[in-house]
Each structure stands twice: as C-alpha cells, then as structure tokens.
Amino acid sequence: MVKVTFLPMEKTVEVPEGIKILDAAVLAGVEVESTCGGRGTCGKCKVLKRPLDCPEKTPEAVLACQEKITEDTLIILMEKREVTDRKINLNSAQEFRLKAGIKKLHLLVPRPSLHNPCPDWERLGQLLPFKEIGFHRKVAASLPQILRQQKHEVTVVLHGNSILAVEPGDTSSRAFGIAVDLGTTTVVAYLVDLIQGKVLAGRATTNPQNIFGADVISRIAYASQGPDRLEELQKKIVAALNWLISQLCAECFVSSEEIYQAVVVGNTTMAHLFLGIDPRYLASFPFTPVFRQEVEVEAGELGLAILSTGKVIVLPNIAGYVGSDTVGVMLAVGVDNLEGVNLIVDIGTNGEIILVGKGKLLTCSTAAGPAFEGGEIKCGMRAAAGAIEGVRIHENVELDIIGNERPQGICGSGLIDAVAEMVRTGIIDSSGSFQLKSDNLEKLPFGVKERVRINNEGGAEFVLVWASDCSIGEDIVITQKDIRKLQLAKGAIAVGIKILLKELGVKVKDIERVFLAGAFGNYIKKESALMLGLLPPVEPEKISAIGNAAGEGAKMALLSPDERFRAKVLARKTRHVELSVHKDFQEEFLKSFSFGNQI
Amino acid sequence: MVKVTFLPMEKTVEVPEGIKILDAAVLAGVEVESTCGGRGTCGKCKVLKRPLDCPEKTPEAVLACQEKITEDTLIILMEKREVTDRKINLNSAQEFRLKAGIKKLHLLVPRPSLHNPCPDWERLGQLLPFKEIGFHRKVAASLPQILRQQKHEVTVVLHGNSILAVEPGDTSSRAFGIAVDLGTTTVVAYLVDLIQGKVLAGRATTNPQNIFGADVISRIAYASQGPDRLEELQKKIVAALNWLISQLCAECFVSSEEIYQAVVVGNTTMAHLFLGIDPRYLASFPFTPVFRQEVEVEAGELGLAILSTGKVIVLPNIAGYVGSDTVGVMLAVGVDNLEGVNLIVDIGTNGEIILVGKGKLLTCSTAAGPAFEGGEIKCGMRAAAGAIEGVRIHENVELDIIGNERPQGICGSGLIDAVAEMVRTGIIDSSGSFQLKSDNLEKLPFGVKERVRINNEGGAEFVLVWASDCSIGEDIVITQKDIRKLQLAKGAIAVGIKILLKELGVKVKDIERVFLAGAFGNYIKKESALMLGLLPPVEPEKISAIGNAAGEGAKMALLSPDERFRAKVLARKTRHVELSVHKDFQEEFLKSFSFGNQI
C-alpha cells in the first residue's frame, strides 16, 4: 500500500501500489475531470505529481488516467474541485446551504468492503467537506440501519462541523425551524421553512406556568422551593411548546424530526426557567441572573420535541429584567441601523425601554404593574371580546368594544383613552383627582355630568357604562383608585424614559422616532398616551406600533446566523441602567405621577 | 467607559474613565505587584502603557497606582503573572493540575453588587485562566446556590476549557477516576485517585449481558432485534458498572460525584453495546464497526453513576474484532518503545495478536473458540477452585489443582499441559491421534498405560483422574474430540502469528520477546505451549506473562492525557490484517493443526 495525498483539498488515501491516479482519486472522493473514459485522449485529467516527501522536486504534469502510483505520492489538481461522491448526478446540486446555519448534503456513501473496511462513521465522514468530524453518539447509534435502508444513499444534516442527523435517501428539499417567544403570560411559536426562508404558521397558547402565579416573581418563588419545583416549571413550559409544535407540524405536514433548530426569546426569568436554571437571585437586589450569554443546547436535553440532536438557541439576555425578548425587539427594529435618537417602548406589566443614539444603546426595565393589561383595575379585563378599548367623551360617552359585543370591562388601551378624555374634559385634573366642585361639573354636558359620583366607599368614580347597557349586571366604572394605579404605571414608564434620555445626554426634541412594541402598542391611541404623558411629547406621526417585535427577532435569528451574531453584539453593546438605584429615580418618580408631560 | 486590554494575558475590561490602572487591573482579575499600598513609592507596579489602537506609538512606562486611564488603553505588564482572585491567600496553591487532564481551581468569587451586576456564570468565568468558557447548562443550573453556600468560596473542576462542576468550599484535595475493562465475560473497574495518581481499589463482576449469550455474536444477534433490545444490553452493562462503582466508592469513602472521568476499554462489540450503538454489521463480513475513533461522552448521557457531567472516554478500537482492549494492551506493553520484533498474544475465545517491529504495528484476531477457557471440552471448566491447572506425566499422573480441592474438571492451562505431556510421552502423536498400538503403550509405566482406553462411544480417551479421586463421581478424561478442539484453537492462534510474521517479513528467530496478555497468560506453562506449537519456537525465557494488560492500559490513559493521545496514535498506526480473507489463511490453517511448531 502507498499513500497518495491530493492537493488542494489535502485528502490522503492509502491505495495498493500500481493503481492509476484516477482510481486513487475515486477512492479519495476527489474528482478529476475526464471525458474520454480514461483512454488518455482527452487530456482533461492532467495533474501535477511528485513523490510525497520530496518538496525539493519539481512536480511533473501527467495524465491521471494513465499514470500509475508506485510510491507515496503528492498529486496537485489543476482545478479546485471536489465532489462528495462521483456516483451522484452532478447536475443536481448536492450541497444545500440552508438558512439557520444548517447545511444538508445528499451523499452516496461507499459500501464497506474488504478494501474499504472503514467504520460507517468514517466512510460517511470522508465525504464531508471538512477534515475532522466530531463523533456524535446519538447520530451514530442508528447509522448502520439508516445507511443501508436506501442502499447507502443518505442526506446528512450539518450544523457547523457537527452532524445533527443522517436521513435515508434524499431529503435535501425539507428543513424546518421553530421561532419561539416565551412570554410570562403567552407562549408563541412559529414554524419556519428554512429552505424557502418563510414562516409557514404561528400559534399561541397560555403559559401553563401561570398556575404558579401570574408574574415572574411568584414563579421564581415557586422554583426556589427546590430542584423538583424548578424541574416542574421547566417541564410545564416545554410541554406547552411541544403542544404548539405538534399543532404546527400537523397543520403544515411537517414531522417534528425535520425541525433542526429552535430560536427562543423571552424575559430573563423565562429563559432561566426554560433551561431549568435556578432563578432565585433574580428576585432580590442586585437581581443577578445566572447567565446572560447566548445559550445553545441539544433539544433532547431539554425534552423539546424537535429532532433530539437539534439545536435550541436562547438569544442572550441583558440583565435580570431585560431579557432576550428585548434583544429580539432590537433585532427586529434594527437598532444598529437607525439614524439619530430612537426610543423603543415595550409596555406591559414589566416595561422595557430601549434608547438608541450617539452610537450607544441604553436599556432599562420598569415595573409598571398590571394596569396596562387591565389587571388590578376595578372593572379591568384583558384585551378580549367585550373589552372597552376606545373611549371618547363629547355630549355623552362613546365606546369602542372589542368584537362588537356588549361591554364587560375595560382593557389597558381603553383605560388610557378614558382617563385621557377625563383629563381633557376636566373631570379629573392633571394631578389625577376628581374635580367634584359644582362649577367644574356644571360645564359638562348632562349625559357626562351625571356619570360622576361618589361610591359606597366614599371615593369618586366615573361611570363608563350603565348597568343596563352592559353584560355584567352592574355599572362599569373608573374609580379614583384606578386612576392612581394608572398614574403609577404611567409614571414608571415615563421616569424610565426620562432617565435614559438623561443618561444618553439628549432631549425629547432629539428623538427621531418612538416605536411601541408588543400587542398593546397596536391598540393604544397615540394622542391619549401623549396627553397622559406616558410617552415623551413628540409629534404623533413619529410614533409607530410594531407589534410582536420580540417574536420577529426570534424568526430573524432563526433564519440567519448573521442575525444571531448581531444579537450577541447588540446584547453586549447595551448598557443596562438599573433604575431602582439610580440617583434621580426617587425624585423623578414622585414628579412623574401627574398627567401631562413630565419627560 | 473606556476599554483597557492587559497583555500578555489578553484580558480586556471596560472601566469608567479616570480610574487608575491598578484598579482596572483588579477589575480585570489581573495582578499587578504593589507593596506600598498604592502610594507611588515602591515602584513595583510599573507597567507599559499606550493608546489601544495606536501600535505605532512607543509604550511609556508608568506607575499603575498613579496613572489614570482616560482613553482606550493597552497595558503591558512587566512580568507574566496572573492570579485568579486577589483575595485568596497566595501562599496556598490555587490551581491543581491533576492527572487525567482534570484541573481544580479554588476560587473566591466576587459577590454581585450594583457595580458588578454580572451574572453568576460570568463572575465565575472571569476568574478562569482562559478567555471563552463554554456555557454548561447542567453546571449552571445549580450554580447560584453552590456559590452562596460557602460565601462564594468554590472549587471549579475543569476539563480543558469546559467546567465539569462547581463545588462549594475548597475541595481541591479530592479527585477520582474510574478505569474499566469491559470483557465479554467479566467487567473490571478500578477506582483511581487522580491527585496521588494511584489505584485505590479494583473490583470485578460478571458481565450481566451473559444471559443473552456467552459470546459477542449472540449479543449482537440480540441487539439486532430492535432498539429496545440494544438499549436493554446497554443498560445491563451500565448497571453492572454502577454496581462496581458503588462498591468501590463505599470501600474507599469516595462519593460518586467526585469521580470526574472514566476510561473504558473493551472489545469492539462491547464498546458498541456500552455506547448504545447498533453493532449488527460486526457480525457479518466485512465486519464493519460503526466507529473506531476514541469516543468521549458525558456520563449522564450513558447513565453511568459518576459525576453526570463527567467524561467517559472509550479508547479507540482498531477493527471489528480488535478493540480498545488491544489498544490498552499496546499502551501497557509500550509497543512504541520496544526494540526489535515483539509478539503479544492475548489468548481467549477470541485471540488477539499484535506483532510490532520494523517501525510497524500489525494486528489480527483469530477465533480460537472456548477451548482455552475450558469451554466445549468434555470435562472442561473455568479456571476456578477444583480445576486442574497443571499436569505432569511420569510414573503416574501428577496434578496441580486450583485451591487444593478435590479435582472437578480441567481448565485451559491444564488442558494444554495435559496434552503437551501426552504428546511428550507418546500417548498421542503429533497429528493429535491416540497411539493405541500395543507396542507404543507398552513403553509407558503401568500407572499411565491403564489410563488410555476406548470409551462407550468408540473413541479413545485418557483418564486424568479416577472417579474415586475426584468430586464429580466419574472419571475426569481427555477425549480424542477434546484434543481435536484444542488443535483447532491452537491452530487458529498459530496461523495468526505465522501470517503476521509473514506480513511483517520477519522470521521466528527475529522475535525478541513474546508477551502473554490476559489472565490466561499467567497460568499457562510456557514449555507446554511451546511443545504444542501454540507459540512460536523461541527460548522460554523470552516469554513473559503480563496479566490484565488491557486494564493497565485503561489506567494509564486515565492518569495521563499523553497516554490517551498515544492510544490514538497507536490505534491509527496499527495495520489490521483480516485473516479470514488472507490468501494464505486456508492453507496455513490446515497445516497448523499438528502439534509441534508449524510457525
């Protein structure tokens, strides 16, 4: 046996003495062009040849189909070309570089023989376009059967230099991924075709961890009771995702084994719980997470029902209360390409604020409380059918109801609208107090005036809907207490914006655009938000709602390793401002309660 | 914030403008010597400094305790020194480079604070002596509690650049490993102290897969019936190992969580079964394994009861029937340091032969059958108490019995001894046939002569022990059939040796030494083996028994990454000769049946 090394691909093969270079090339999986069938007439198989360990010798040009190998030899190919296997029809592409950093290779693996008694893993590995392939026990476990199922014709799924799967036959036309937004309340998953680069379907379900508490703090408290509890929460969220995946797969005729990658975003607590990592110190100062970098784990390790060797990527988080969902928003908005100063506000129980400008990226989170989601408001409800989502006060009160049903309660955007109208019409003043003096009330039309009253508890309230007009059997009201809660929520957001502007050293007038992320942003009336001072006083046309930008960011990272990398850079570049200990926080917070602009 | 990069350790840290170099060094975890407490008087903290991106500027020498950082800066330390944490008493060693490629670092991790709100994983990572640490979900999962259990004092267990475990407090004096020899019949495990580099205890147990068949072929057949069966076999062998580990741990007062690494050798089939990899094509020509390289997997993935993130290393195998146990033997014998031509024979049901010389390493396996282990021999038994292990024929028959008990049967070494004596005394001729003619028998002493007889089945036999002298109630005999089986077994080994000698182009006289590996080698009488022609005709003093060399090799690879690497080189360097298709095999095999040397 003699050794033959082919350049430039640096493939070495041991062959019996006396065989032709062309045959050695076949054994090495190296293509040498030849059109005359090896008769030495076409001259296309010309290669350079010299003894292997004699770098001082000048290589001579020979015909690969004629020249025999009699010693250890170096062969230098004239053209840079390498194919995986000659037996495959070269007209069809064999290497499929998919989105998501996944690659599929359709191969015909040589069968084992006395002369090629190589292990299955190595015969396969020799056809791959890189030198060292890591051994993957789970993929190797069933390789022998898969290889032989379709006469050694297989498709290899690669992620970087590691093999995720070997599939029998040619499956190169199919590859899927999942983008996930893990919300505290709602979990959303999108099934994405990685070849066409398009979203096939999306589904949402309630986060089943909600039985352990509606907010992250109660989930953290539950998880802190012991590893079993943490595991329970981890399994719950994975089960919800698996249910969404099964639904999506059924809807799109995709097998879960064809899903090779998942990209997940979520707040920092959700990321910890999803990965089964103890979140307990997120609940107390200084709100220390266990990790913030991007995490990549095998799906099987988490129990996620995609290909078990598939990759689950959790985008990086920034701080204890600014998670990868915010990084997803940054990706979707493209914060690194924005001109001037831009503000992004994701309003929810936890409001995340991003301020970008002067080459910097600042972020903070602020505890607005559940008022914006209708929580802890007397007649509050989620933005579902029957919720009042818009309010106008003129001669009387006009309402917009979700689903055109009889009103049942008031959701976040309706509350903001209603209170903004109450301020505009003077029912309450800018300090948020009801104006009960008769000369104030006298100015109001009768249909409005009669709605202001003192309730049984001695507090003032405003009747939005009379019991006779709604489905709950009693008046839908906005109480003085409700208004105080909204003031706190509005103040939290406003003070966050104000401190970030100060930290960046810019003024409101410098702001080019304001983006409202999250579902809530789609429904909020800009004018009302501006009137209450929830947003800085910019021209309304500068404000735009961008929907579930976090989920969009997850899809982008799923579809492109570049976006994944960009997410890392953005997360690392971001400076997190911890509001609770900021020197200006207390004072600004107290100032920010009044309606009207305090930013 | 400005960036400061320290050379030569290439640590970069972002610091507020205006802080002193010495303080930046502390933040970066870089030690700068200083004995005056930062008063600028000792001059020991002199460093070289230049702006970060101005390689053209000559660095200036400054005192780190005096000089403030006002821009992105490069600091070059005068001495190459880096410590993990300044707060640790530097008099006590902090880094423990253990055998097995494991390292332990005793650290005091900074607590999180407003000014260092870094995640737990990063605050830990900043103290490690390399830049990028991979995120390990399982280690991170319980990190917060472990960090805080002993006031942020921990010991980190490292394997290369990855963290295997974080343990509370200082555990740097304890680290253990397991070396395993997975035999088809017997499983042996050794508990090794990785700090002292010594074996603490060893234990053996029967391979519980034996209920599915005594030989590898029946195990492969069972595993081929489906993934469940394969998994069953995998679990059985792991359960046996876990039992051994629990016994060893109890014996040595070691916790299984303190075992960070396992090195496993075994035949190729056992390696496949242990890793849960489909072995079915090992059973048919060309005996293709799925893998032959070294495999490293996490213990938890296999269910092995050591630290779940610990590494299990299966040394490389060579071919379908030459496994990592043979590589272990090569390590133990040190085949790469031997002078001249050396032969190593591991005699068992499957005989593995290694021939080393002329810078080459050849190996083959040969199916000797169970005769050497007392199998399929009329009165055969394992080498246990009551087995005849030595035989001398003079005026009468003298026996050596294991355990000095009444004889129950004959084991492999006894069989070889007995047949060698029978040949020497002319009871059988060199073709293995009983010499029943009266003139041959007449020459024998009476006490011997009367033992040769024709049995009920019409075949000749030799009575080794009369029924009255043994515990089984009937005569212990060696039949003509037994002798034929021994001839086949002897022939298989001899032809393997002969073909390897031929392949290497050497003669028997060139052999410097013959090593007999395996327990059997310890008991075999050299003279008898030579007389029968089981071994080539060398001087008896050239032959040495080396015991369980495979297990020794596993221990060596466990105790040194260099040996692990050497195993890879040896496995790759070895040329495997497939006897069953060798052109000389048939003819040589037929010739090799006769007793006396045919090599």
Which fold, A338-369+492-591? Nucleotidyltransferase; domain 5 (3.30.420)
Task: Indicate yes or no: CB of B117 within 8 angstroms of CB of A278.
Answer: no
C-alpha span between A163 and A311 (Å, rounded): 11
Q: What angle do CA B233, B520, B588 make, to 5 degrees?
A: 95
Mean pLDDT of chain B: 89
Task: Indicate yes or no: CB of A135 within 8 angstroms of CB of B295.
Answer: yes
Suggest the residue from B72, B290, B302, B312 to mutate for an interface test with chain A (most A CBs closer than 10 A): B290
Please determine, for residue B102, whether its predicted confidence score (pLDDT) is greater than 70: yes
Which fold, A176-314? Nucleotidyltransferase; domain 5 (3.30.420)
Residue A350: how many CA atoms within 13 Å on its side-chain side? 22
C-alpha span between A296 and A312 (Å, rounded): 6
C-alpha span between B321 and B288 (Å, rounded): 9
Suggest the residue from A277, A301, A314 to mutate for an interface test with chain B (most B CBs closer than 10 A): A277
- The CATH number of the structural domain formed by B2-77 is 3.10.20.30
Q: Write the CA distances from B266 to A356, B156, B229, B263, B272, integer angstroms.
A: 60, 31, 20, 10, 9
- For A291, which DSSP code? -
- For A49, which DSSP code? E
Find residue A95's DSSP bridge partners: A105
Task: Indicate yes or no: CB of A117 within 8 angstroms of CB of B319.
Answer: yes
C-alpha span between B500 and B398 (Å, rounded): 37
Suggest the residue from B113, B235, B288, B318 to mutate for an interface test with chain A (most A CBs closer than 10 A): B288
pTM: 0.79
- For B534, which DSSP code? S
Q: Directed axis angle between helix A216-223 and helix A268-275, to 10°?
A: 30
| Helix (H), strand (E) at residue A12 | strand A11-15
Residues of chain B found within 8 Å of residue A142, distances taken between Cβ atoms: 227, 278
CB of B292 within 8 A of CB of B275?
Answer: no
Cα of A111 to nearest chain B Cα, Å: 10
Q: Write the CA distances from A225 to A184, B64, B119, B202, B334, integer angstroms.
A: 19, 47, 21, 41, 55
3-state secondary structure A363-399: EEEEECCHHHHCCCCCCECCCCCCEEEEEEECCCEEE
- For A221, which DSSP code? H
C-alpha span between A399 and A382 (Å, rounded): 16
Peptide bond into A286 cis (omega under 30): yes
Structure tokens at B125: 């990572």
Cα of A82 to nearest chain B Cα, Å: 25
Sequence-separated (6 or more) residues with CB below 8 Å from residue B465: B388, B397, B399, B407, B475, B476
What is the chain B residue with the closest CA to A273? B141
Beta strands in B424-487 (DSSP E): 452-454, 460-465, 476-479
Please determine, for residue B331, whether its predicted confidence score (pLDDT) is greater than 90: yes
Task: Indicate yes or no: CB of B291 within 8 angstroms of CB of A140.
Answer: yes
Task: Indicate yes or no: CB of B140 within 8 angstroms of CB of A293.
Answer: no
- For A509, which DSSP code? G
CB of A194 within 8 A of CB of A145?
Answer: no
Suggest the residue from A111, A118, A135 to mutate for an interface test with chain B (most B CBs closer than 10 A): A135
C-alpha span between A282 and B497 (Å, rounded): 68
pLDDT tens string A463-483: 999 999 988 889 999 999 999
Nearest CB to B137: which of A118, A141, A297? A297
C-alpha span between B548 and B265 (Å, rounded): 12
Residue with tokens 């290909």: A307
Nearest CB to A293: which of B135, B141, B286? B135
| B444 CB neighbour count, 10 Å cutoff | 18
Q: Write the CA distances from B153 to A62, B91, B105, B147, B166, integer angstroms.
A: 68, 17, 11, 7, 10
Of B157, B180, B179, give the one whose Cα is nearest residue B168: B157
Task: Indicate yes or no: CB of B287 within 8 angstroms of CB of A144.
Answer: no
The amino acid occupying position B82 is E
Please determine, for residue B376, whether its predicted confidence score (pLDDT) is greater than 90: no
Cα of B100 to nearest chain A Cα, Å: 21
The amino acid occupying position A145 is Q
CB of A113 within 8 A of CB of A27?
Answer: no
Gyration radius of chain B's alpha carbons: 32
pLDDT tens string B28-82: 777 777 666 667 777 778 888 888 887 777 778 888 888 889 889 988 876 533 3
- Overall average pLDDT of the B387-403 stretch: 93
C-alpha span between B531 and A275 (Å, rounded): 67
Residue with tokens 């924005």: A338
Suggest the residue from B224, B230, B234, B293 to mutate for an interface test with chain A (most A CBs closer than 10 A): B293
Q: What is the pLDDT of residue B138?
A: 94
Q: How far apart are the first and last CA of chain A?
A: 82
C-alpha span between A528 and A533 (Å, rounded): 9
CB of A350 within 8 A of CB of A297?
Answer: no
Number of residues that make up chain B: 599
Q: Write the CA distances from B343 to B356, B508, B538, B541, integer angstroms.
A: 6, 10, 11, 14
Reading phi first (left if > 0) and then psi (alpha if -120 to 50, else beta), residue B390 is in beta
Topology alike, domains B176-314 and B334-368+493-591: yes
pLDDT tens string B30-40: 777 766 666 77
Of B438, B415, B419, B417, give the one whose Cα is nearest residue B430: B419
Interface of B with A (CB under 8 A): 1, 112-114, 117-122, 135, 137, 140-145, 148, 227, 230, 275-278, 280-281, 286-293, 295-297, 301, 319-320, 576, 578, 581
CB of A139 within 8 A of CB of A163?
Answer: yes
Structure tokens at B192: 């090794």
Please determine, for residue A86, whether its predicted confidence score (pLDDT) is greater than 50: no
Indicate the pairing of strand A46-51 with strand A60-63.
antiparallel
Task: Indicate yes or no: CB of A286 within 8 angstroms of CB of B141.
Answer: no
Indicate the pairing of strand B397-401 with strand B387-393.
antiparallel
Please determine, for residue B95, whether its predicted confidence score (pLDDT) is greater than 60: no
Cα of B532 to nearest chain A Cα, Å: 33
C-alpha span between B515 and B338 (Å, rounded): 12
Nearest CB to B119: which of A114, A291, A297? A291
Suggest the residue from A146, A293, A574 to mutate for an interface test with chain B (most B CBs closer than 10 A): A293
C-alpha span between A23 and A14 (Å, rounded): 12
Nearest CB to A289: which of B119, B135, B297? B119
More confident residue, B184 or A90: B184
pLDDT tens string A195-225: 988 899 999 888 999 888 878 999 999 999 9
Task: Indicate yes or no: CB of A319 within 8 angstroms of CB of B117.
Answer: yes
Q: How far apart are the first and last CA of chain B?
A: 80
Indicate the pairing of strand B259-266 with strand B176-182.
parallel
Q: What is the pLDDT of residue A383?
A: 81
More confident residue, A183 or B260: B260
- Overall average pLDDT of the B359-375 stretch: 88
Nearest CB to A278: which of B114, B144, B290? B144
Task: Indicate yes or no: CB of B291 within 8 angstroms of CB of A135.
Answer: yes
The ipTM value here is 0.77
Structure tokens at B249: 């741990």
Task: Indicate yes or no: CB of B286 within 8 angstroms of CB of A113.
Answer: yes
- Overall average pLDDT of the A81-99 stretch: 37
Of B240, B249, B247, give the one whose Cα is nearest residue B270: B240
CATH of A95-168, one of 3.40.50.300, 3.40.50.10610, 3.30.379.10, 3.10.20.880: 3.10.20.880
What is the chain B residue with the closest CA to A14? B575
Task: Indicate yes or no: CB of A291 within 8 angstroms of CB of B120.
Answer: yes
Residues of chain B found within 8 Å of residue A318, distances taken between Cβ atoms: none
C-alpha span between A152 and A109 (Å, rounded): 5
Given pLDDT bands bounded at 50, 70 and 90, which one contains residue A457?
A: confident
pLDDT tens string B191-245: 999 998 889 999 988 899 988 887 899 999 999 999 999 999 999 999 999 999 9
Q: What is the pLDDT of residue B35?
A: 63
Residues of chain A found within 8 Å of residue B143, distances taken between Cβ atoms: 277-278, 290
Residue with tokens 């990063």: B122
Residues of chain B found within 8 Å of residue A121, distances taken between Cβ atoms: 290-291, 293
Sequence-separated (6 or more) residues with CB below 8 Å from residue B574: B318, B322, B330, B354, B361, B362, B363
pLDDT tens string A353-385: 999 999 999 999 998 888 888 888 999 988 888
- The CATH number of the structural domain formed by B334-368+493-591 is 3.30.420.40
Q: What is the pLDDT of residue B90?
A: 25
**Phi–psi pair at A289, nearest 5 degrees:** -75, 170
Residues of chain B found within 8 Å of residue A287, distances taken between Cβ atoms: 117
Cα of B157 to nearest chain A Cα, Å: 18
Peptide bond into B286 cis (omega under 30): yes
C-alpha span between A596 and A148 (Å, rounded): 73
If DSSP codes are grouped into helix, strand and coil, which group holds residue A471? coil
Domain boundaries, chain A: 2-77, 95-168, 176-314, 338-369+492-591, 371-485
CB of B366 within 8 A of CB of B585?
Answer: no
Find residue B189's DSSP bridge partners: B180, B203
Residues of chain B found within 8 Å of residue A278, distances taken between Cβ atoms: 141-145
Range with lowest mean pLDDT among A421-435, A541-555, B5-19, B352-366: B5-19
Residue with tokens 């090339």: A25
Residues of chain B found within 8 Å of residue A119, distances taken between Cβ atoms: 288-292
Nearest CB to A275: which of B137, B277, B297? B137
Sequence-separated (6 or more) residues with CB below 8 Å from residue B253: none
C-alpha span between B125 and A293 (Å, rounded): 12
Sequence-separated (6 or more) residues with CB below 8 Å from residue B179: B189, B190, B192, B199, B262, B263, B551, B554, B555, B557, B558
Indicate the pairing of strand A387-393 with strand A409-410.
parallel
Task: Indicate yes or no: CB of A120 within 8 angstroms of CB of B288.
Answer: yes
Residues of chain A found within 8 Å of residue B121, distances taken between Cβ atoms: 290-291, 293
What is the chain B residue with the closest CA to A295? B135
| Chain A with chain B: Cβ pairs closer than 8 A | 127
Given pLDDT bands bounded at 50, 70 and 90, which one contains residue A266?
A: very high
Task: Indicate yes or no: CB of A297 within 8 angstroms of CB of B122.
Answer: no
pLDDT tens string B559-578: 998 899 899 999 999 999 99
C-alpha span between A409 and A421 (Å, rounded): 17
